[in-house]
């Protein structure tokens, strides 16, 4: 098992989760975070820290797509280990449906 970041993170990008991760397995895109599935130790400390409730265990049904997205982009985006401010539109974007199709960016973030 591993944890994955799902679409509700897109254009919110709260980073409370990266601050508590003991193995620094978060990677930053322009408007989204991902978890490297081979680095995640399944401790679960990140899940309750996400204000957008975008972090889920990959054992939940229907998360195969997100496991692939997390693995693909964790391999190419920079590592992030420090908390930063969320995106300016985070509160408005929290809970919007279909964010991956509408807003997902493949561009990397700044990382540490």
The pLDDT tens digits for 47-83 are 999 999 999 999 999 999 999 999 999 999 999 999 9
**The model's pTM:** 0.96
The CATH number that domain 3-83 falls under is 3.30.70.20
**Torsion-angle region of 81 (φ positive above 0: left; ψ -120 to 50: alpha; else: beta):** alpha
What one-character-per-residue DSSP string does 47-98 give?
GGG-TT--EEETTSTT-HHHHHHHHHHHTTSPB--S--PPPTTHHHHTT-S-
Whether the predicted pLDDT of 16 surpasses 90: yes
Tokens representing residue 74 in the block: 């964790």
Q: How far is the C-alpha of 79 from the C-alpha of 86, rounded, in Å?
A: 17
DSSP 49: G
Domains of the chain, by residue range, sit at 3-83
């Amino acid at each position: 098992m591993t944890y994955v970041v799902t679409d509700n993170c897109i254009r919110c990008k709260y980073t409370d989760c990266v601050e508590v991760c003991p193995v620094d397995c978060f990677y930053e895109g322009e408007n989204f975070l991902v978890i490297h599935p081979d680095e995640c130790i399944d401790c679960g400390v990140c899940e309750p820290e996400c204000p957008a409730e975008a972090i889920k265990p990959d054992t939940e049904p229907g998360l195969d797509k997100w496991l692939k997205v997390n693995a693909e982009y964790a391999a190419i985006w920079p590592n992030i280990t420090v908390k930063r401010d969320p995106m300016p539109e985070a509160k408005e974007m929290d809970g919007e449906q279909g964010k991956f199709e509408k807003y997902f960016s493949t561009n990397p973030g700044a990382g540490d």
